[in-house]
Amino acid sequence: MSSEIPLTKIKGLGPVMAERLRASGFATVESVAIAPARVLAEVLGVSEERAAKISQAARELLGIKFVTAEEYFKQRSKVAYISTGCKALDDMLGGGVETGAITELVGEFGTGKTQLCHQLCVTVQLSEDLGGLSAKAAYLDSEGTFAPERVVQMARRWGLDPSEALRGVYYARLRSVAEQVASLLELRRLVEEGVILAVVDSIAAHFRGPAGPDALTRAHELAVYLSSLRELAEEQGVAVVVTDRVSAAPGLAELRPSADPIAAMFVDYRVSLHKVRENVRRAQLEFAPWPARRSALFAITEDGVVDV
């Protein structure tokens, strides 16, 4: 794994420079490989030419391994799904939320993103015959949206003991980019303790900011963060679910996810959520590894997310 390769293995990078990178959030070889030369030059205090060579050395160190389509097909056969608790949504997603992949929920405030995240934290704990994986969840909360009371309400719907359901969810309140990035180390440890669902609600809250000189740095930090989540999903078979709000883009009439265009490069499934009426919502599968553009209706009730 790239996260296990010491930075000092990068040609032209000594211990002092490696420490400078770690202090600035470049903790993996992969993060150095995709960093703009200008950003690396500023962090390391070297010329852009030398920084470009260091970035190239990092890419060479990562290497690329090819497998046959047959081998990849066999790998895909091991994929599991977590039921959303709503048949219409499960059918739209091809069986539920996929392990080893990143699913993004996007929409305006009140469209059901957080409700779905809470419900998945419950359904992942169900037995396989009920659509779960008898596993645990981790909830990374960057906006203060997590409500354990909702977990209790939703757990009762399936006859789960509320206390057991709460113990099956690990929670962390993240108040800055630094905390959000640092949480990934603890998340990897939790995976070893049975966590197979990681929820990040929301993905871009701490990475947003005004246009200007810092915009490129924020975009890079978000790319590194999403890349780390992808590595966790693919290598550990974790189902990663992230949420994102939509906002108006300069010069465009329509709303788009605030984390784009970065997020679009890393997520496997994107589901946009829209208000229809009262407690009814419409989900649209915007893209997936297979032909998408499917839609489904669902309702938000005291018991959770249900079929209409």
Kindly compute the dihedral angle of the four CA atoms of residues 44, 48, 50, 51, in this order, to the nearest 10 degrees: 50
- Same domain, residue pair 174 and 37: no
Mean pLDDT of 231-242: 94
Residue 282 lies in a domain: yes
User: What pLDDT does residue 224 have?
Assistant: 84
Residue 253 has pLDDT above 60, yes or no: no
Burial (0-12, 13-18, 19+ Cβ within 10 Å), 52: middle
Mean pLDDT of 48-63: 89
- Same domain, residue pair 54 and 121: no
First to last CA, the chain: 44
- Same domain, residue pair 295 and 162: yes
Mean pLDDT, rounded, of the chain: 90
User: What pLDDT does residue 150 have?
Assistant: 97
Residue 68 lies in a domain: no
Residue 177 lies in a domain: yes
Mean pLDDT of 39-59: 91
Rounded to 5 degrees, what angle do the CA atoms 289, 197, 225 make?
70
User: What pLDDT does residue 6 have?
Assistant: 86
Residue 131 lies in a domain: yes
Q: How far apart are CA 131 and CA 84, in angstroms?
A: 8
On whether the CB atoms of residues 36 and 217 are closer than 8 A, the answer is: no
- Same domain, residue pair 186 and 52: no
Last residue of one domain, picked from the residues 11, 35, 62: 62
On whether the CB atoms of residues 243 and 113 are closer than 8 A, the answer is: yes
Last residue of one domain, picked from the residues 62, 90, 111: 62
Confidence of residue 252 (pLDDT cuts 50, 70, 90): low
User: What pLDDT does residue 292 have?
Assistant: 66
- Same domain, residue pair 293 and 200: yes
User: What pLDDT does residue 250 have?
Assistant: 58
- 196-221 pLDDT tens trace: 999 999 998 888 766 666 677 778 88
- Same domain, residue pair 91 and 194: yes
- Same domain, residue pair 217 and 146: yes
Residue 263 lies in a domain: yes
Kindly state the percentage of the chain with pLDDT values over 90. 61
On whether the CB atoms of residues 121 and 169 are closer than 8 A, the answer is: yes
- 3-46 pLDDT tens trace: 568 899 999 898 999 998 888 878 788 888 888 888 889 889 99
- 109-151 pLDDT tens trace: 999 999 999 999 999 999 999 999 999 999 999 999 999 999 9
Q: How far apart are CA 184 and CA 228, in angstroms?
A: 8
- Same domain, residue pair 90 and 221: yes
Residue 115 lies in a domain: yes
The boundaries of the domain holding residue 147 are 73-307
Residue 248 has pLDDT above 70, yes or no: no
- Same domain, residue pair 254 and 128: yes
CATH number at residue 214: 3.40.50.300
- Same domain, residue pair 260 and 136: yes
